[in-house]
Amino acid sequence: MANDGGFEPMQIRLNRERMEKGDSGQKLHTKMRLWEFPNQYVIEPIEGSSSRSPLSISRKDGTMKLIDGIPECSTLRVPKIMTIFGVIGMLKILAGSYLLVITGRECVGTHMGHPIYKISSMKVFACDQTLNNTPAEQKKTEMEFSRLITVAEKTYGLFFSYDTNLTLSVQRLNELGDESKLLPLWRQAEPRYLWNNYMLEMLIDHKLDPFLLPVVQGSFHHFQAAIGKDIIDITLIARRCTRRNGTRMWRRGADADGYCANFVESEQIMQFNGYTASFVQIRGSMPFQWEQIVDLTYKPKFEILKPDEAPRVMERHFLDLRKKYGSVVAIDLVNTHGGEGRLYEKFSTTAQQVAGDDVRYIHFDFHGTCGHIHFDRLSILYDQISDFLERNGYLLLNEKGEKMKEQLGVVRTNCVDCLDRTNVTQSMIGRNMLEYQLRRLGVFGAEETISSHPNLDDKFKILWADHGDDISIQYSGTPALKGDFTRFGHRTVQGILTDGWNALMRYYLNNFADGTKQDAIDLMQGHYIISVGRDMTPTSQNGSIESIASFPLALGLVLTGFFFATMSLRQVRYDFRHFFLSLMWAGISIGIAAFVRANGRVFCNRPRLHKPRHGWTQQTRVSDECPTTIPDPAFAGVSVFSSNHPLYTLPNPPSPSNVSDLKLFVADFRSPKLNTFKLGLSRIWPLEDGSELVPSSMMLPLAISENWLFPALLAVVAENPTFLLSVLAEPAKNKNTNTIIGDSNS
């Protein structure tokens, strides 16, 4: 119906009024009480949303429902009561489910006028009373998985807001339509930066919007500084991508879909006199398949996997970046010699094949040019990218929130770890961009720099040093190296000594702790899905080296051998036969040490949920590949719809050739009596109109009728539009149609 004159449609007017007044129905619960009853947990909202119905969660199996009030305690035992500040989500394992809540928070500043909190403590509440009736072996497996969840309690660098969307940059927030801004925060969120994406599924299924709190892993720091009579506010935010999340040595390179390890979006925001400027940079591992598996050496060898597929993987990676950010300039900081030199050669030669008008590759040998102290030579690199930065710019909003300028491209920076060299380089680019913005607003003169304002200069250095430390701790377990230069502008003796200590700590964590941490990450973020009857924790074959490998035991034997060798050597003057005993003990110690060195990989702490195998995509949530031929009957047809109009139709069951091409993996294969099954699609799917569907980072559940012989969910999610996925199947003689409606941000 047309809108004429001064009249506006009722729905538009209501939406406008809701936005002006704030829609309390969409607000989140900001403070709650958690009651521990013998048979249930009850979460009672105290502050936040006007909807104050308590949430009951069964301690038997994790089922949840809203109730009218706090139940009366029928026993003499008084329930424990705890104050919590948010529900992170629920994780289903085998017999039990596990509730993760926020028990401590710290306000670290404001963003777009809304407070931002850092999670200081979390707690897991088990809903596993059915374990009493499960077989011993399954109970043992459940306990192993539950211990991984307690490891995840210590996850570092988690941030959230009750009022604003932390997963989106200021530019993307500004581009949200009025309808989108009215949606709950979890529906606005960018899935790749939503840390608790997978854990929110059960709450989403029960439509518990006031409890659905989006959490981001990354960093948040800000400061205010005076420039004459003017006050500027600087904020620096990091958002870690969850699609190939993990630890330093167990997540390297890219997966088959081009998603990179340690991929982080860094946004520098400047606010001054009502103006807001935003500049986004990204970092990520070199976008082809390679690995560096720990083996007790200080620098394990780099291995390039599937070199022939590197162009395809890299093309997918840069296609994703172009869609999201526009033009891309990729800065590669690795050495040109040694093991890094092999990676450089692969990256540079492959980048030439995918480079174009909107993708540019620049190599800058950081160590060769700057050494360990001459970081001022980074100006050579800046001269090479200054034209790109001037052309693609940054976002600038005026006092009314109107867009005066937008960022049209992004700088992508990498070294090997994307930590130390990358952070120094990004801080240099951020500094130059801030100066450019301040000149644009008339705060700085033509030749004025941040260095000419000591107070601003010191705070800016600390801002980026803290930013780099946060990203490094999440990936490597230690603060960033070379942080003294970022923090003080030059290298110091204390900084060099600290770098040495942190390097040793990285060695220890990478070899003896990160395997378990990687398992916890994969479990919490749904990269590994558990099902009954599946080889959930691969064990070593009896009699193999792996079954007896224990580094503490080997180290103890080596030290014991040397101890007895020393004691025997001291007795040689009394009895020469002790000399031969000393040689024997020393030989045993050296032999054990040599054995451990030759089989270093099996003596390290390795992930148990994903064994590193050449050609396997670590991003997938599965470990068992679908058969090369789908059992018949299988899919009679697959259709994807947007706004009820078909986008793409696959009319016939996939043939063996395109099953391999689509890389279908069985994620959850259970008894037909259960009703939740999942199938992962690890492929960017081209559509007939030239656009593409990209696999979602979150699998969605699908209710399937009991008579399915090959139950599965085909998770194909468009990045933007609401979609309808129809899977037609013929399990016997009857055709059943099962549908699911979802949102790309869910």
Q: What is the pLDDT of residues 404-419, one digit of tens each?
A: 999 999 999 999 999 9
Q: For residues 411 and 298, state if they share a domain.
A: yes
Beta bridge partners of 215: 160
Query: Is the pLDDT at 531 greater than 70, yes or no?
Result: no
Report the C-alpha dihedral over residues 364, 367, 372, 374, rounded to 10 degrees: -30
Lowest model confidence (mean pLDDT) among 128-132, 183-187, 253-257, 273-277: 128-132
Query: Is the pLDDT at 331 greater than 60, yes or no?
Result: yes
- CB burial class (10 A; 0-12, 13-18, 19+) of residue 304? middle
Phi, psi at 130, each rounded to 5°? -70, -10
pLDDT in tens, 72-105: 876 677 889 999 999 999 998 888 899 999 999 9
Q: For residues 330 and 413, state if they share a domain.
A: yes
**What was the pLDDT predicted at 574?**
82
Q: For residues 19 and 120, state if they share a domain.
A: yes
Q: Between 612 and 163, whose confidence is greater?
A: 163
Q: For residues 124 and 240, state if they share a domain.
A: no
**What was the pLDDT predicted at 359?**
96
**What was the pLDDT predicted at 449?**
95
**What was the pLDDT predicted at 41?**
96
Query: Is the pLDDT at 232 greater than 80, yes or no?
Result: yes
Q: Between 389 and 484, whose confidence is greater?
A: 389
In a domain, 177, yes or no: no
| Mean pLDDT across the chain | 79
Q: Which residues contact 376 (CB under 8 A, 6 or more apart)?
A: none
In a domain, 619, yes or no: no
Q: For residues 101 and 232, state if they share a domain.
A: no
Q: Between 248 and 609, whose confidence is greater?
A: 248
In a domain, 676, yes or no: yes
**What was the pLDDT predicted at 661?**
32
Q: For residues 272 and 136, state if they share a domain.
A: no
- What pLDDT band is residue 532 in, cutting at 50, 70 and 90? low
Long-range contacts, stretch 559-562, CB < 8 angstroms, 24+ apart: 559/589, 560/589, 561/585, 561/586, 561/588, 561/589, 561/592, 562/586, 562/589
**What was the pLDDT predicted at 384?**
97
- CB burial class (10 A; 0-12, 13-18, 19+) of residue 430? buried
**What was the pLDDT predicted at 133?**
79
Say how far apart CA 576 and CA 565 lie, in whole Å: 13
This prediction has a pTM of 0.78
Q: What amino acid is encoded at 628 in this protein?
A: T
**What was the pLDDT predicted at 608?**
85
Q: Between 130 and 501, whose confidence is greater?
A: 501
- What pLDDT band is residue 535 in, cutting at 50, 70 and 90? very low
Query: Is the pLDDT at 196 greater than 80, yes or no?
Result: yes
In a domain, 191, yes or no: no
- Nearest in space to 538 (alpha carbons), one of 514, 512, 519, 513: 519
Only one residue has tokens 């800000």, namely 222
- Nearest in space to 417 (alpha carbons), one of 258, 294, 251, 255: 251
Give the pairing of strands 678-681 and 714-715. Answer: parallel
Domains identified in the chain, total number: 4
Q: For residues 442 and 374, state if they share a domain.
A: yes
In a domain, 3, yes or no: no
**What was the pLDDT predicted at 526?**
86
Domain termination site, one of 498, 520, 542: 520
pLDDT in tens, 548-573: 677 888 888 889 988 888 888 888 87
Q: For residues 119 and 256, state if they share a domain.
A: no
Q: Stretch 185-208: mean pLDDT, rounded?
A: 93
In a domain, 579, yes or no: yes
- What pLDDT band is residue 18 in, cutting at 50, 70 and 90? very low
Q: For residues 489 and 341, state if they share a domain.
A: yes
Q: For residues 237 and 325, state if they share a domain.
A: yes
Domain termination site, one of 520, 537, 572: 520
Q: Stretch 56-60: mean pLDDT, rounded?
A: 94
Query: Is the pLDDT at 111 greater than 90, yes or no?
Result: yes
Say how far apart CA 274 and CA 399 lie, in whole Å: 4
In what order do the strands lie in the sheet containing 664-668?
624-625, 664-668, 678-681, 714-715
How many other C-beta atoms are found inside a 10 Å radius of the C-beta of residue 153?
14
In a domain, 422, yes or no: yes
H or E segment and range at residue 90 = strand 86-92
Lowest model confidence (mean pLDDT) among 120-134, 249-263, 530-544: 530-544
pLDDT in tens, 407-460: 999 999 999 999 999 999 999 999 999 999 999 999 999 989 999 999 999 999
In a domain, 29, yes or no: yes
**What was the pLDDT predicted at 152?**
86
Show the domain range for 676. Answer: 624-742
Say how far apart CA 608 and CA 618 lie, in whole Å: 13
Query: Is the pLDDT at 736 greater than 80, yes or no?
Result: no
Q: For residues 393 and 428, state if they share a domain.
A: yes
pLDDT in tens, 663-710: 333 333 233 333 333 333 333 444 444 544 444 433 333 333 333 223
- What pLDDT band is residue 10 in, cutting at 50, 70 and 90? very low
**What was the pLDDT predicted at 284?**
97
Q: For residues 404 and 361, state if they share a domain.
A: yes
- What pLDDT band is residue 647 in, cutting at 50, 70 and 90? very low
